């Protein structure tokens, strides 16, 4: 739970796990994000949707502390992380698990070594046997029984996603961030990944933030969705509010995405 600091704003509630407050990010004279205000609710799934060049990747980098905003504040568990130095930020980053696009596995390493990588980097107190036990337990929980000695090339696309997820979970983060998790996948595998995101949220009690351009996926998993266009939040709300609400911008974006509104209505229902 959030330990409220003396200077914590009154509007920052315990259910606000991560908050982007008035965030602007500029590189020189080029403004990539402008006045972003997002409150990620604890133990829910939020989806940041938008096309190429909308600013999704920059927002992701700010969220996990790889860059600092030009203006504004980022609050994690009631702590303003914006002014923190490198050492303190490294501690904050360990609260986040990152699931990369295409899993980003190291092809020269076994599944065991891929998943153990973060533990070996950050948990020097653990023995090799303890690390192996933790990895195998996590793989088993994610349906990857007896896969620890396989190479990534021997796995299916869905299995690779699960290995990437296992690696992200090894430091027991409270927030999982997914970067385009369904990109390049066939519809059946995409639906499996969507189910995995929600199963993981429930099983490990994490907050999920999904960066995506996949509207069908967004409407399957999002408790709340944010439409990013040209570096601004153009619309936000539940999936039903984005698809059928008052925002012409979000309705047009969904229509232009090629996903049937009839299909979305069934998903929302």
pLDDT at 102: 67
The per-residue pLDDT for 1 is 45
pLDDT tens, residue by residue, 39-76 = 999 999 999 998 888 999 999 999 998 999 999 999 99
133-147 mean pLDDT: 92
pLDDT at 269: 44
Higher pLDDT, 185 or 224: 224
Kindly indicate the confidence band of residue 266, based on its pLDDT and cuts at 50, 70 and 90: very low
Dist CA 52 CA 44 (whole Å): 25
- The span from the CA of 53 to the CA of 67, in Å, is 18
Dig out the tokens for 96 from the structure: 């986040």
So what's the pLDDT on residue 192? 86
pLDDT in tens, 179-214: 988 887 788 888 888 998 999 999 999 999 999 988
This prediction's pTM = 0.88
CATH code for the part of the protein at 41-60+87-223+232-268:
3.40.50.300
Residue 2 has pLDDT above 70, yes or no: no
* Residue 18 near residue 70, CB atoms below 8 Å: no
Which residue carries 């337990």 as its tokens? 137
| Res 9 pLDDT > 70 | yes
Distances (CA, A) of 186 to 109, 192, 210, 222, 266: 26, 10, 18, 20, 20
């Amino acid at each position: 739970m959030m330990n409220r600091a003396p200077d914590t704003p009154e509007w920052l509630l315990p259910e606000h796990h991560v908050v982007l407050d008035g965030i602007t990010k500029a590189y020189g004279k080029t403004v990539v994000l402008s006045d972003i205000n997002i409150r990620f609710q604890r133990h829910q799934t939020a989806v940041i949707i938008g096309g190429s060049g909308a600013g999704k990747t920059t927002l992701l980098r700010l969220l996990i502390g790889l860059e600092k905003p030009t203006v504004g504040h980022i609050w994690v568990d009631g702590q303003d992380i914006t002014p923190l130095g490198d050492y303190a930020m490294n501690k904050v980053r360990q609260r986040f698990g990152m699931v990369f696009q295409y899993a980003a596995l190291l092809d020269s390493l076994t599944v065991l070594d891929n998943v153990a990588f973060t533990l070996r980097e950050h948990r020097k107190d653990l023995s090799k046997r303890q690390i192996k036990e933790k990895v195998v337990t996590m793989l088993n929980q994610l349906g990857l029984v007896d896969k620890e000695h396989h190479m990534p090339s021997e796995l299916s696309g869905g299995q690779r996603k699960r290995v990437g997820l296992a690696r992200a979970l090894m430091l027991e983060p409270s927030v999982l961030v997914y970067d385009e998790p369904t990109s390049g996948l066939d519809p059946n595998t995409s639906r499996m990944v969507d189910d995995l995101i929600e199963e993981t949220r429930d099983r490990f009690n994490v907050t999920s933030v999904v960066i995506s351009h996949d509207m069908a996926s967004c409407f399957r998993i999002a408790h709340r969705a944010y439409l990013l266009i040209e570096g601004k939040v153009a619309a936000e709300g539940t999936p039903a509010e984005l698809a059928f609400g008052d925002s012409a911008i979000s309705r047009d974006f969904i229509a232009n995405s090629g996903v049937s509104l009839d299909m979305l209505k069934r998903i929302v229902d």
